[in-house]
Amino acid sequence: MKKLLLFILGIGLASTSFAQIKFIKRIFSNEKDTTRKASFMPIPVFGYAQETGFEFGLGSIYSFYVDKKDKENRSSNFFGAASYSTTGTYNVTLRGDAWTKNNGLHFIGEIKFKDMPFNFYGVGNNTLEADKDRLVQQLFKVLFDAEKAVAKHTYTGISLGFENQRFTDKVTGGIYSTNTAVYDKDGGKALFLGVSQSYDTRNSNNYPTKGFFGRISYQYAPDFFGGENFSGSQIRLNIRNFWPLGKKIVLGLQGLYHTVQGNGNTSFYMLPQLGNDEIMRGYYGGRYRDENLFAAQAEIRYRFMERLGVVLFGGGGKVFANSDVSFKNLKPNYGIGGRYFFDPEKGLSIRIDYGIGEKRPNEERQSGFYISFAEAF
């Protein structure tokens, strides 16, 4: 009997070891699936950003090609997740990015609910750490974009969006309640109608190694809800270009401009914010906010294996009021990151980045650590 138990235990250990070896081989495999088949991956959501802390939850990613025979057909990706973070943030997100045959139509959709404590520092490009005020944001957001190819690589689109935001001040008497430049402090609603124009020659929408992408969008929020609710316009310009520097090395550049102009005073929560896990990494999101945002970055990507890569990045940016249009006092950022491609053929990745920002007088140098899905740009 003892020998039988030892035999069964040995078989079990061997099977487990074999499964682990197969798993490790898959993680580090240089083989790429060329069948362009759909992939579905239920995943534990695990991330980190300085705004939210460590994030835990459940999610899934579904990726597929509408036309598997067309090598130029872009992949359609759908993502859903529900998570909770160590700072007390609740987040539910549903997001889709779909391309039809011949890339003739492009649809983008997002539904998000977030309940998030965060630090508010005031308005402007020179806010102080000492003015930090703790708030809680409740956000409900719906966005839908539809673009149609009107010429080769050229897309014209329309958009519809809705946002409802509410804020609670956790500690009264701080800059949030005393600063007269902070308008519409309890939050509000906005309905956006917009148009967009883009030009896209990238060879991939997930991990491009060459090509250009440029998109400009205009959205207008009419005075639909009255009161202090936001009404006005916002314009976003996003330009990217990618060059192969070798078989495994890519240089990417991105420039971003975002402006929000209210018909009266602009609600503080609509002001563009510097810093997130995609651009100006290293700065706390919302540490600096104002009517305009300009930022640019470069990234060198070295994908030394099909499933593994590293990046170096650096850039600069600032926020500024309409009365202070200049490129002086740009804030720097730089950093390093790692990549794991869980779907190498489609270029879908998990990334880890560490970004470093400026050091202001009498403050620690600003920095941030991030764990998230997909490339920064």
Coarse DSSP helix, strand, coil percentages of the chain, rounded to the nearest 5 percent: 10, 55, 35
Give yes or no for a contact between 20 and 13, defined as CB atoms under 8 angstroms apart: no
DSSP type of residue 74: P
How many of the other CB atoms lie within 10 Å of CB of 20?
A: 10
**Which H helix or E strand runs over 367?**
strand 367-373
**Positions in the chain short of pLDDT 50:** 2-9, 12-20, 22-24
What span, in angstroms and rounded, lies between the C-alpha atoms of 331 and 199?
29
How many of the other CB atoms lie within 10 Å of CB of 92?
A: 16
Amino acid symbol at 42: P
Which residue matches tokens 């200049």?
326
- Structure token pair of residue 338: 């790692």
What span, in angstroms and rounded, lies between the C-alpha atoms of 266 and 261?
7
How many of the other CB atoms lie within 10 Å of CB of 155?
A: 20
Which pLDDT score is estimated for 6? 45
What span, in angstroms and rounded, lies between the C-alpha atoms of 166 and 186?
6
The length of the chain in residues reads 377
The full set of domains in the chain, from first to last, is 2-27+55-373 (2.40.160.50)
**Per-residue pLDDT tens for 75-124?**
999 999 999 998 889 999 999 999 999 999 999 999 999 999 999 999 99
Which pLDDT score is estimated for 34? 61
Which pLDDT score is estimated for 28? 53
